[in-house]
Amino acid sequence: MKLLILNGPNINMLGKRERAIYGESSYEDLCEYIRVNGQNLSINVDILQSNIEGELVTYIQDAYDKYDGIIINPAAYTHYSIAIYDALKAVDIPTVEVHISNIYAREEYRRKSVVAPACIGQISGFGIYSYVMGMMALINKAK
């Protein structure tokens, strides 16, 4: 199984920004954690991050016919990116939306995801373990 892991804006600032919400792990720690857990689950992972919506859309489009699944943390784009939603619908690759924090326990505007309806599911609030849960969900979906 080959998965694309996409991270949106400010995820590259993990370990520096709002540690009480996002934890102490750096972005590099997150990537290593994903790689190790992917390896343990016999999954090949490619990890990309961008602060630019159009780049994320291009990454999704480029995933067509190359990946068995996508795990996306759209970050702030979760709440308003119809472009990301449309890209996910266009490629029709099983996708899991993940969030490090529990978006439903935060500000009201963070509780709505316009991306989630293009996904097979959403995982929120389990820290960086949310990514592992996403991998396991995609393995289960492929069975």
Q: Is 22 a catalytic residue?
A: yes
Catalytic residue among 22, 67, 77, 131: 22
- pLDDT (mean) for 106-112: 81
Mean pLDDT of the chain: 94
Residue 82: how many other CB atoms lie within 10 Å: 11
Beta strands in 32-140 (DSSP E): 44-49, 69-73, 95-99, 121-124
Active-site residue, selected from the candidate residues 59, 77, 85, 99: 99
pLDDT band for position 16 (cuts 50, 70, 90):
confident
Is 99 noted as a catalytic residue in this protein?
yes
* C-alpha–C-alpha distance, residues 77 and 63, integer Å: 19
Chain Cα centroid distance, residue 89: 15
pTM: 0.93
Kindly tell me if the per-residue pLDDT of 64 is higher than 80.
yes
CATH class of 2-142: alpha beta
pLDDT of residue 103: 85
pLDDT digits 0-9 by tens, 20-58 = 766 678 999 999 999 999 999 999 999 999 999 999 999
Instruction: Give yes or no for residue 139 having a pLDDT over 90.
Output: yes
Span 96-100, mean pLDDT? 97
Burial code (b: 16+ CB inside 10 Å, e: under 16) for 34-60 equals: bbebbeeeebebebebbbebeebbebb
Beta strands in the chain (DSSP E): 2-7, 44-49, 69-73, 95-99, 121-124
Residue 102 pLDDT greater than 90, yes or no: no
State pLDDT tens for residues 124-137.
Answer: 999 999 999 999 99
